Chain A
Amino acid sequence: MPFVNWLKRHFVVIAGLLTLAYLLLPNVVVTVFSFNKPKGRFNYQWQQFSTDAWKDPCGVAGLCGSLSLSLQIAVWATIGATALGTMIAFALVRYRFRARGAVNSLIFLPMAMPEVVMAASLLTLFLNLGAQLGFWTILIAHIMFCLSFVVTAVKARVMSMDPRLEQAAQDLYAGPAQTFLRVTLPIAAPGIAAGALLAFALSFDDFIITNFNAGSTVTFPMFVWGSAQRGTPVQINVIGTAMFLIAVLFVLTSMVIGNRRNKQKASS
């Protein structure tokens, strides 16, 4: 019986660890196989330890080019979607205008629509307009589908913001620009940041919409998919692992900075 009791007491911890394992195991596999030295073209079986791929991440033709393209598109899409989405969110929360309710639900539609359908429709649109498929069509498409997410994230934040805070700022001699910079923006910042991160992640690993609207341009997800048909270079695992590590580092740094700031505050 002691075992059952032990289980009862630690059930939450065990369940939590199992969930974490479920989430992280794929990443572990990716990392482990980035040190593999496969026989043949497919990196699906463990052969022997090697750091060859880590020493030469761009060793596969087209990989680093596609990676850099994906990063560029993600950065521009994030900037575009965040700027537009923030403005839309403020407009939807702050102003009462005709068709406000309709706009509110229209904003959600891209999130609900199957990606394949949206991709195909966009392609039709671009073809009819005679647009040259490539960087710009991908960017336009990415900004479009990222917008809904940014609007949702920012709107939640702006809605919970007391309009009296801005009135208080005005009452305390802050003009419109000062009020926005000193009060509105800092308070909305967490929502805007969340929207931007979401937009970056969505844009970076989007495959379906990009695939339809890329023409002959190849982004990183398209490269991975394409090479998976012919054989998977270890470098893909290297890039994947590197991105994962960078993200973890990012989170850890911000946590450390946050903690230090709180401690300073508490001691001063």
Chain B
Amino acid sequence: MKTTNSGSGDVRLTGISKTYGSFAAVQPLDLTVPQGSFFALLGASGCGKTTTLRMIAGLEEPSSGTVHLGDQDVTALPPYKRPVNTVFQSYALFPHLDIFENVAFGLRRRGIKSVKKQVEDMLELVQLGEQARKKPHQLSGGQQQRVAVARALINTPKVLLLDEPLGALDLKLRRQMQLELKRIQTEVGITFVHVTHDQEEAMTMADTVAVMNAGRVEQLGSPTDLYENPNTTFVANFLGTSNLIEAEVDTKSGDDIVLKAGGGKLVLPESRCSAPTTAGGKVLVGVRPEKISLTHADAAGEIPEGRNRITGRIANSSFIGVSTQYVIDTSVCPEFEVYAQNIDRDARLAPGAEVVLHWSPAHTFGLDAAQDIDAGIQEEAAL
């Protein structure tokens, strides 16, 4: 990744918004994409991520705000004058031109006469040298996708925009292309802005992910940061799965907050709580399913001190090879999810068994209780 001239090639969106009639597709937002980074806009369909991307490309005119590429204000420039190229959803390859001419299109429009060498090199990069004289419809989906990337990259844009570029591919090919795109990005060092609804895709490929919901950026950060420290219930539920419990603030001791939930006590580090905490106030306590350990109630004494614990009964368990997923009926939440690695399987952990769930307070996070506890779940289920 190139870090030279940091700041001079950043994509900066300032107060940018888009409304269609009375519908606000994108709420005024500020966003900076650092030069040379792989940036993902992640969200469910209709969240405004594609509109945001199209405003960077110039294909959509913002209702307010500005778009800067480096020091240049490009807000008023039409798409054909912006140093930005797009890989479209379903590729939009020109059906009447062969692969070579598709890739050469941008160079020719800029009046470059000898394009042969460049086009051939680019086709080599995406491993399509043999297919130069074929028409797009003669290629497979994966090959078309690579042509679309080549057609955009050959112009060495300041920013490459990718609009759900892998959506039309089957799962195996998608995994392969994710790595391929990541490799190309590292090789050419161009800023990539990638729009996707697939949280795994965003986390695998991007350095920075902006999670969007209802025209707003909910949270921005590295994949690990977003996953470990979600700031909103939407992010907690949309990225992976979270168990969220409503709890009441009891006392504060040092850097920790002690909470009351369903008769028990839970400890939450204050630094991991994004909500205001006043004694007697409510917060949502969250914990990821894979951070939780399950111990049979008979062996509860073996659980080390200082861990958060909740008791319950196993309602359901499904074995999926590397792990077993349990659904546990607890006093605080009837559907507590726990993923246990299949290292040493305790035969007593079967549906109906009384268990103790316990986890390290460091893996607990706190959210504002004023939010919809189920935000972002629907979208996750639809994937």
| Segment at the A interface, from B77-85, B294-302, B320-328, B357-365 | B77-85
| Segment at the A interface, from B30-38, B94-102, B187-195, B331-339 | B94-102
B90 contact set on A, CB distance < 8 A: 162, 164
Q: Interface residue count for A (Cβ, 8 Å)?
A: 21
Q: Considering the complex, which residues of chain B in the window 36-57 have a beta carbon less than 8 Å from any beta carbon of chain A?
A: 57
Q: Considering the complex, which residues of chain B in the window 81-118 have a beta carbon less than 8 Å from any beta carbon of chain A?
A: 81, 84-86, 88-90, 92-96, 98, 105-106, 109-110
B110 contact set on A, CB distance < 8 A: 173
Q: Which of the residues A168, A173, A178 comes within 8 Å of B92, measured between beta carbons?
A: A168
Interface membership of A268, Cβ < 8 A:
yes
Closest-by-CB residue of A relative to B151 is: A172
Q: Which of the residues A162, A167, A178 comes within 8 Å of B79, measured between beta carbons?
A: A167
If over half of A's interface residues share one DSSP class (helix, strand or loop), that class is named, otherwise mixed; here it is helix
Interface membership of B251, Cβ < 8 A:
no
B85 contact set on A, CB distance < 8 A: 171-172
Interface membership of A265, Cβ < 8 A:
yes
A266 contact set on B, CB distance < 8 A: 133
Q: Which of the residues A164, A173, A186 comes within 8 Å of B106, measured between beta carbons?
A: A173
Q: How far is the CA of A162 from the CA of B90 in the complex (A)?
A: 10
Q: Tell me if B92 and A172 are in contact (CB < 8 A).
A: no
Interface membership of B155, Cβ < 8 A:
yes
Interface string of A173-186 (1 = CB under 8 A from B): 11100110011001
Q: Tell me if B94 and A170 are in contact (CB < 8 A).
A: no
Q: How far is the CA of A164 from the CA of B151 in the complex (A)?
A: 15
B78 contact set on A, CB distance < 8 A: 170, 175
Kindly provide the distance from the CB of B252 to the nearest chain A CB, expressed in whole angstroms.
54
Q: Which of the residues A165, A173, A186 comes within 8 Å of B80, measured between beta carbons?
A: A173
The chain B residues found within 8 Å of chain A, CB to CB, are: 57-59, 78-81, 84-86, 88-90, 92-96, 98, 105-106, 109-110, 133, 151-152, 155
User: 10 other contacts beyond A168-B92, A170-B58, A171-B80, with CB at 8 A cut-off?
Assistant: A164-B88, A164-B92, A167-B86, A169-B105, A171-B152, A172-B106, A173-B109, A179-B80, A183-B94, A187-B96
